[in-house]
Structures are given as structure tokens and as C-alpha cells.
Amino acid sequence: MNNNTNYIGKPVNRVDGYAKVTGGAKYAADHHARGLCYGVVVSAGIAKGKILHIDTTEAMQLEGVFKIFTHENVSGLAWFNHSYKDMDAPPGKHFRYLQTDTITYSQQPVALVVAETFELARYAASLVKVTYKADAHVTNLTGNLDQARPPKGKKSGFKKPSSRGHFDKAFTAAPVTLDATYFHGAEHHNPMEMHATTVLYYKNGSITVYDKTQGILNTQSYVKSVFGLSGRKVKALSPFVGGAFGSGLRPQYQLFMAVLASLELKRSVKVMLTRQQMFSLGFRPITQQSLSIGSMEDGSLQAIKHEAVSGTSQFEDYVENIVNWSGMLYHCKNVKQSYQLVSLDTYTPLDMRAPGAVTGMFGLECAMDELAYKLNIDPLELRYINYSVEDGSMKKPYSSKALRDCYQQAAERFGWSQRNPEPRSMKNGHLLTGWGMATGMWDAMTVPARAKATFTADGRLTVGSATADIGTGTYTIMTQIAAETLGLPMDNVTFQLGDASLPYAYLEGGSATAASVGTAVQKACMQVRERLLDLAKDIPDSPFKGLSVAQVSFADGMMFMTETPANFIHLKDIMTLTDTGEINVTSTPLPNVFKQMKYAKNTHAAVFVEVQVDEELGAVKVTRVVSAVAAGRILNPKTARSQIMGGIVWGISGALHEESVLDHQFGRFINHNYAEYHIPVNLDINDIDVIFVEEQDDVVNPMGIKGVGEIGQVGVAAAIANAIYHATGKRIRELPITLDKLL
Amino acid sequence: MDQVAASVMVDQPTHTITLTVNKITYELKVLPWVTLLDAIREYIELPGTKKGCDHGQCGACTVLVNGKRINSCLTLAVMKNGADITTIEGVAEDGVLHPLQQAFIDHDAFQCGYCTPGQICSAIGLINEGKATTREEIQELMSGNLCRCGAYPNIVAAVQQVNGKL
Ligand code: FES
Ligand code: FES
């Protein structure tokens, strides 16, 4: 056997690459229909108060304006709060668009103008006059820390902070201590594709919804429950998503608006938010965190206290795991943690790439660097001294943890051993060079997912699951898994996603898709294998009679006996000889919970960066990044590397560029456009070197997949802040580290 | 000649213009406020060109007009009457990918793919300009095209592979 159908672990090109480079990939706003009309949203100009009056007269006089939806004319929608709950909703009272005269946050949508063309809708929207009675608003977290309170209710994935031992006693007794407070403001996801929905309306009253989402079932169920529609009436699709990073985890209001207008006007409707309105969606919460660490002179940690306060909205309690990492990463007996919220007059924050970890690990890994300097110990050495083989918060060993190898390989590639620890020791005129490092950590999660597979007599396999590909490579890796499992060329395999009629998959988020959907896909293909073997046994004189599925292998379009590969049969022949048209299966993998319960399951990374700081201008350039990642089995090093690289770019962005600036006078994010909300451009990104340290892990799932969507970003901001300290001798504890902070 | 009409009554005269897009000439009746981007996407119905900001800040809408790259969201359709336009749909010829398209696939120069039409059109424009020779020049001259997925190093690698070889 040649076995040309081994794909797992190979750097194959994206299967959707052709569509993406030719303009053939259709995103939510790329659909057309006869009589399609356009909706433009009017956003509130105040942060808190009441709408006194909405004057739509002038706008409605324009020919071609069909309707203007406001709270005054929207009715008949779902009554109960739970109808507005979505798969990622935090506990609270979920927002109902256009159903109240109360303004709860700046840029709250207050009207939807629907017209024959986009230009006309936009113009008409500018003629809608809203008068408000403004109330005093509160958007300042740091000025309201006295309002901090524990979060209410539960959100999926949230782990309560857990303390252990006796922090106070141990901290007081520790010979070396550190106290530091860190802060970052809000960040908005800002995927390149602005949130958009196109609803196609059919004469029989059914609709097809093209939505920008990370979970098409979330879209469909929201539409069903809010508008009281049956599943048969709502087809929901999202084959291509122009990035999301968390912004597609909840149904965003353009979905509501487009469906509302379509059902009412009985027309097809397209609604795309403006870039400005992308700042009216959820965001990474504004967070202040404090760390107190006590250690012995030899660097061994005695006590860690990690406390964080984040902002949330007035109506939902968004929570994320910020402080928990401090109880997991290092060996330390005495840990104290607390996590609190302050309600602000903003929209509810929302999971944004590596939510919680990006924040918490920034604090923890900067604090470790500060401690290293106090102790006069190399920062990497300090990590080795406190290396932990178990998750101390749960007292469980890791299912696998190759972090030590990550440290070693990345440090060697980077040349860390050459580092002079002295700040400002690498100076060349007005340019200061600095080296810093940090650790990254994220969860290796599995979420519920099913898949179906159809194998047809022409030798083609179609596999599907209602998951998403937001740029992560889902299409590609699922095709690899399916093709290899059945031993088919990838060209003969099609993977479908982003369709609510496909078998259940949870939201694409948290780096859980490769592991979860991947397992379901593999299992479905294993079921096809069994069926093929059963069929083959029916063929007269079949050599396969009496064999179990464990005794046969699949490759190059054939099934063969593993022991004696000369006994083989083409899969197509199995189908023809048994007169079988197609094989259909659906898989529902169940994780081995008993096995998994005994372990902590995480991904790790070690990231080393070099920065160059222009002392006269304060400008920082990240000249080099080396990141070694331990994330179980890597299905496709090409797409996985892109994920990690993207995460690193996000880390650079968070460290140096990104911040949604709140003007507390207006309670509004004022830099709400791509010119003033800075993200890295091409010239900002230099050498990025990604190393995968593969781990064998049969606990997480049968294929040992841990996921790579988030881990690349975690720790990067800390490594940069630490490198900037090394370059300049300045400890900046507030992100982003803009030039004003360095002058 | 394909006819695309937009009939909206506002106090503005519509203009009849012709645009040649990917070698097909379209006659359009548009109001002066229609951007070239929306004319291409919503009137001619070629949605490959993307909108990422509508304000000239992201480059997602980059198309080639008479061989030069421009932000189509910052251009009114009426200003380009008679122009020869290439969008991402017209970059491959007869189903054969342009070397840059193949390089983007081979280098995994995209993730979500939303910025990609603009990146590719921009890179073709850059190569036509013939100004960029070094890696850093390519980076600088591709900096008008944002990629939120952070595919920059791969984009540069793809452009480098093709630059100077056309
Ligand atoms: S859409 Fe034209 S530059 Fe952003
Ligand atoms: S590939 Fe997603 S924005 Fe560039």
C-alpha cells in the first residue's frame, strides 16, 4: 500500500482557498435577491435616558423608503426573557432591540430605516430626528471600584475563583514580596467583515437567513424564539464568516433588524452595520487587576493573590476567567483570588479571543517578571523553579503538559541565554533593544458536537456539522480527518458547515472546534467504515468474512486487511457489487468523562519577544517573536501556524495598539473607526517564528487534539511589556503601551 | 451590454454611466451618491469586493481601475464613467489562477478571507507600480490593507514570491 491518503498532521492548503482568492466565498452581505431592500440602523446619541420623540416624517416622505421601525411600532414579539437568551448569553435580562424608549448604552439601536437602496436608507436614516431626556451615566470603572460586587448567576465556562492555603500568613512571612496593579481598557473585536445579515423572503412566508455568526444554530434558535417561527420556516446559513474572534458568539442586532423588516415587509432585506456601529457590540471588558506575590530568596513562590474587577452592563453579568490562571500555572500552596464586577452604562462585554486569559495572564506574567528582577533571578529560571506538573486549583495532574519543552525550544531559538538582564543594556544611539518572555495558557475543551457522513457509490464522501469556519481552517482540517479516516483523496471529500439543518454543533469558540467536531467527524467516518465492511462481507467469496473493523485498514480509496494488505477491495466496488446507492450515518461522540475527570486539560505556550524602542519618539517595534506552543496533536501545521501567528498579532495589538477609548463625559467610545482604533498594519508585524511542541494525549479526545485558536495570543502582551522594561527600565502596567507612556 | 438600473426618486438626477468590469461593459443608471464599491457590489452584483469600513481606512474594497489600485469606497461611481475595472472576480483568467492567487493559497496568506480580495488587488497594483523591491517596501506599500486575522507575514511571503516575476 502506498497510502497517499494520510493527511492528518500534513501542511495541506486550505480547501476553501480557491473560493477565497477568487471572490467566490460568499459572506453574509454577499447575497442578492429580486426586490432586495436595505436596512440602515440609527444609533442612540446618548448613553442613558429616555427617548422623548422620534420624528420620522421627513425620512418617510422620500419615495423608496418603505418603513422605519422604532419602539413605537414594533410589537408582537416574544414576551419572556428566556426567548431572548442565546447560547452565549450571560445571566441577566437580555436586551430587546426596538422595544423600549429607555436608552441603556451609547449607540443603542433606536430605529431601522428600510428603503429600496442602501444610499436612500442611509440618507433617510440621517433625517430621523430623535429627542432624548438624558440621565447621568456611569462608564468609568476605575472611578467606581467601590461599587464592585460578586457576579450574579452562571455563565457557561465560568469557573469561580478558588483560594487555597493561607495567603495572608504566607505573604507576610515571605522575604521577597511584590504588589502591582495592572489595567486595560475596552477592546472591540472588529473583524474585517462588519456584522451583516441578509434575509431572503419567500412567498410562502419562509425565510433564508445568511448571518455572520460563530454558531448558525444560535442564529436559528434566536430567530425562532424571538419571532415565534417554526424551524421549518427558518433556514439559516453562514458558509463564510469574515472573522469574528468572539463577536459572532451572540446573535447581533443586525440579525434581529433584518428578520424583523423582512417578516413585516414580506421582502428580502440586507442589513450591514457600519464600522462605527461595530463599537456598539460587546467588547473585552475594561479590567483592573492586582497581584501580590510572596517568594523565598531562592525564587520559590509562597503566596499569590490575584484580584480583578471588570465592568459589565446594567442588564447582564458578563464574566470570564481572569484570576484563575494564577492558581494553576505555578506551584504555590497559598493562593487567594477574587473577581468582581461593576455595572456600567455600556453594552454587555463579550468573549474576545482567549477571554480572561489574555487579561489575567498579562497581569500574572508581568508580575512574575517584576518579581524576577526583585530576586535577581532570570525570568525564565523563575518559571522553571516554580514549574507545576499539576493544576494546583483542582489538585489534578495535566493530561499532558509540554510547557518545559516549549520554554527550552523557544529560548534556544530566540537566543535567550545571551541576554544581559540589565535594563537598557542594549543601546544603539536612540534605539533601545529589549528582550522579554512570558507564558501562555488556555483550556483544552470539548463541547457537544455531532456529524453526519454520506458515502456514495461514486466514491465521494460528504460530511457535515453545524459548526463554523471563521478563518480557523475548520473546512480544511475536517476534510483531512474525514479523508484519512476513510482512506480517500481529499478531492473526493466535501465538508459542510454553517447550515442549521446539519447535525448539532456548539458555537465555534474557545478553541474547542477542532477537538469536538473533529472527534464527531472521525467517529462518523468510523461508522461508515463499519458499514462498508459489513457490505463487503456480503460479496460472494469475500475475503473479509469474519473480520472485525479493527482488522481492516482504509487507504487510497480501498479497504484492505491490515495483516495481509494484498487482500483489498476498492470502496467503490463494495458499493457497486452490493448494489448500494449510499451509506448515511450520524455520529454522537460521548467524551470519556470518567477518564477526563481525573485530569486538568490545558494548552501552553512560551513566548519570547524582542522590541526596539525609539527613546526619542517613544515608538515601540516588535522586531522578533518566537513562540513555542504545546497544544496536543497539530492537525495541519500550515493552518495552525496561521492561527498562532494571528494570535501573536493580536497580542502585539493588545500590547501596543488597541483600545476603545471611552469618553466618560458622553459615555461613548469615541475612536470608533479603523483610523483611530489602531490595529497593526503590515509594516507593524515582523519576524514571527512558531514552534509546535507536539504532545501525545489520549485523555482529551481520541485524536489528542487541544485546539490552537486562542493560545497564540495569551502571554504575548506580558512578554512585550517585559521586553519594554528590559529595553527602557520603565515598567508600564497599563495597556496599550502607547508612546506617551514611554516619553 | 448589460443594463443595471436603479430607480429611486430623490431630488437628484440619475446619471447613465458605463463601467467595464472584468471585461464586461455595464450601463448603469446611478445617483451621484453611489460609491464605486456599492455600484460593483449591489448594482452590478459582483460581491467579491468587500466593504470593511466604507471610509477609506481598511483597503478591503481595493479594486484596479485602469490598472491602478484604489479604494472603491472612496470613489463615486460617476467619477469612473468609462473606466476599465478589475475586481477579484476578474483576476483569474479562464479559470486559471493568477500567480498571486496561487501564492496566497500556498502561503496561507489569509484566514477568514475577507480582506483577501483587497489584498490581492492591492498587491497586483503594487507589482504594477514596480516600486517595491525589498520586504520592508512591500510591507510599507501593503499597509493600506488591514488584515484583522493577522496574516501579514504570509501575505508578504506571497507577494515576495511573485513580485518582479510577472
Ligand atoms: S471599505 Fe474601502 S477602505 Fe475600507
Ligand atoms: S484574512 Fe481575515 S481579515 Fe485578513
* Distance separating alpha carbons of residues A64 and A57, to the nearest angstrom: 14
Residue A331 has pLDDT above 90, yes or no: yes
Which residue lies with its CA nearest to atom 4 of ligand 2?
A: B147
Give the tens place of pLDDT for each residue, A506-519.
Answer: 999 999 999 999 99
Note the CATH architecture for domain B11-89.
Roll (3.10)
Contact A119 B31 (CB under 8 A): yes
Average pLDDT, chain A: 97
Distance A187 CA to ligand 1 centre (A): 21
Cβ atoms within 10 Å of A532's Cβ, excluding its own = 24
Contact A674 B57 (CB under 8 A): yes
B166 pLDDT tier (thresholds 50, 70, 90): low
Using the atom order of ligand 1, give the atom closest to the CA of residue B57.
Answer: 3
- Give the pLDDT of residue A156: 84
Per domain, the residue ranges of chain A are 17-24+447-590, 31-136+191-274, 144-187+283-445+597-742
Give the tens place of pLDDT for each residue, A16-34.
Answer: 999 999 999 999 999 999 9
Ligand nearest the Cα of residue B35 is 1
Using the atom order of ligand 2, give the atom closest to the CA of residue B112.
Answer: 2
Q: Over pLDDT 90: what percentage of chain A? A: 98
Ligand nearest the Cα of residue B60 is 1
Chain B residues near residue A642 by CB distance under 8 angstroms: 108, 111, 149, 151, 154
Cβ distance A382 to A366 under 8 Å? no
Right CATH for A144-187+283-445+597-742 from 3.30.360.10, 3.30.470.10, 1.10.645.10, 3.30.365.10: 3.30.365.10
* Distance separating alpha carbons of residues B45 and A707, to the nearest angstrom: 38
Nearest-neighbour CA in chain A from B39: distance (Å): 11
Distance B113 CA to ligand 2 centre (A): 5
Give the tens place of pLDDT for each residue, A75-111.
Answer: 999 999 999 999 999 999 999 999 999 999 999 999 9
Kindly list the distances between the CA atom of residue A170 and the CA atoms of A69, A174, A293, A299, A372, in Å, as whole numbers in the listed order. Answer: 61, 6, 10, 14, 19
- Give the pLDDT of residue B95: 86
Q: Same topology for domains A17-24+447-590 and A144-187+283-445+597-742, yes or no? A: yes
Chain A residue with the nearest C-alpha to that of B90: A22
Instruction: Name the residue among A663, A647, A661, A630 with its Cα closest to residue A713.
Output: A647
Across residues A218-229, what is the average pLDDT?
98
Residues of chain B with CATH 1.10.150.120: 99-162
B5 pLDDT tier (thresholds 50, 70, 90): very low
Inform me whether the C-beta atom of residue B87 falls under 8 Å from chain A C-beta atoms: yes
- Give the pLDDT of residue A606: 98
Residue B143 has pLDDT above 50, yes or no: yes
Kindly list the distances between the CA atom of residue A485 and the CA atoms of A481, A497, A538, in Å, as whole numbers in the listed order. Answer: 6, 19, 22
Contact A192 B148 (CB under 8 A): yes
Give the tens place of pLDDT for each residue, A372-398.
Answer: 999 999 999 999 999 999 999 999 999
Check pocket membership of B146 for ligand 2, CB cut-off 6 A.
Answer: no
Q: Which residues line ligand 1 (CB under 6 A)?
A: B 51-54, 56-61, 71, 73
Kindly list the distances between the CA atom of residue B29 and the CA atoms of A724, B9, B66, in Å, as whole numbers in the listed order. Answer: 57, 12, 21
Instruction: Catalogue the long-range contacts made by B76-79 (C-beta closer than 8 Å, 24 or more residues apart).
Output: B76/B32, B76/B33, B76/B34, B76/B35, B76/B36, B77/B17, B77/B19, B77/B28, B77/B30, B77/B34, B77/B35, B77/B36, B77/B38, B77/B39, B77/B43, B78/B15, B78/B17, B78/B30, B78/B32, B78/B34, B79/B36
Give the number of residues written for chain B.
166
- Say whether A710 is catalytic: yes
Chain B residues near residue A198 by CB distance under 8 angstroms: none
Give the tens place of pLDDT for each residue, A165-198.
Answer: 999 999 999 999 999 999 999 999 999 999 999 9
* Distance separating alpha carbons of residues A668 and A665, to the nearest angstrom: 8
A525 pLDDT tier (thresholds 50, 70, 90): very high
Give the tens place of pLDDT for each residue, B49-71.
Answer: 999 999 999 999 999 999 999 99
Residue A714 has pLDDT above 90, yes or no: yes
Across residues A131-138, what is the average pLDDT?
98
Q: Which helix (H) or strand (E) holds A692?
A: strand A687-692
Contact B42 A118 (CB under 8 A): yes
Across residues A268-297, what is the average pLDDT?
98
Grid coordinates representing B83 are 473606466
Residue B13 has pLDDT above 90, yes or no: no
Give the number of residues written for chain A.
743
CATH class of A17-24+447-590: alpha beta
Q: Which fold has domain A31-136+191-274?
A: Aldehyde Oxidoreductase; domain 3 (3.90.1170)
Global pTM?
0.97
Cβ distance A569 to A536 under 8 Å? yes
- Give the pLDDT of residue B9: 52
Check pocket membership of B112 for ligand 2, CB cut-off 6 A.
Answer: yes
Q: Which residue has the higher pLDDT, A224 or A157?
A: A224
Pocket test for ligand 2, best of B50, B104, B116 (most atoms within 8 A of CB): B116
Give the tens place of pLDDT for each residue, A425-482.
Answer: 999 999 999 999 999 999 999 999 999 999 999 999 999 999 999 999 999 999 999 9
* Distance separating alpha carbons of residues A707 and A603, to the nearest angstrom: 8
A9 pLDDT tier (thresholds 50, 70, 90): very high
Across residues A150-170, what is the average pLDDT?
94
Pocket test for ligand 1, best of B54, B87, B88 (most atoms within 8 A of CB): B54
CB neighbour class for A743 (10 Å; exposed up to 12, middle 13-18, buried from 19):
exposed
B164 pLDDT tier (thresholds 50, 70, 90): confident
Contact A20 B147 (CB under 8 A): no
Interface of B with A in 100-139 (CB under 8 A): 101-102, 104-106, 108, 110-117, 120, 136, 138-139
- What is this model's ipTM? 0.97
Residue A402 has pLDDT above 90, yes or no: yes
Nearest-neighbour CA in chain B from A14: distance (Å): 7
Inform me whether the C-beta atom of residue B152 falls under 8 Å from chain A C-beta atoms: yes
Chain A residue with the nearest C-alpha to that of B33: A119
Residue B7 has pLDDT above 80, yes or no: no
Distance B74 CA to ligand 1 centre (A): 7
Among A17, A32, A471, beta carbon nearest to B112: A471
Nearest-neighbour CA in chain B from A21: distance (Å): 6
Distance A320 CA to ligand 1 centre (A): 33
Options A320, A530, A710, A734, the catalytic residue:
A710
Note the CATH architecture for domain B99-162.
Orthogonal Bundle (1.10)
Give the tens place of pLDDT for each residue, A599-624.
Answer: 999 999 999 999 999 999 999 999 99
Residues of chain B with CATH 3.10.20.30: 11-89
Residue by residue, DSSP assigns A190-258 as --SSPPEEEEEE-TTS-EEEEE--S-HHHHHHHHHHHHT--GGGEEEE-S-----TTTTSS--HHHHHH
Chain A residues near residue B4 by CB distance under 8 angstroms: none
* SS3 label, residue A370: helix
B6 pLDDT tier (thresholds 50, 70, 90): very low
Across residues B92-100, what is the average pLDDT?
94
Distance A350 CA to ligand 1 centre (A): 26
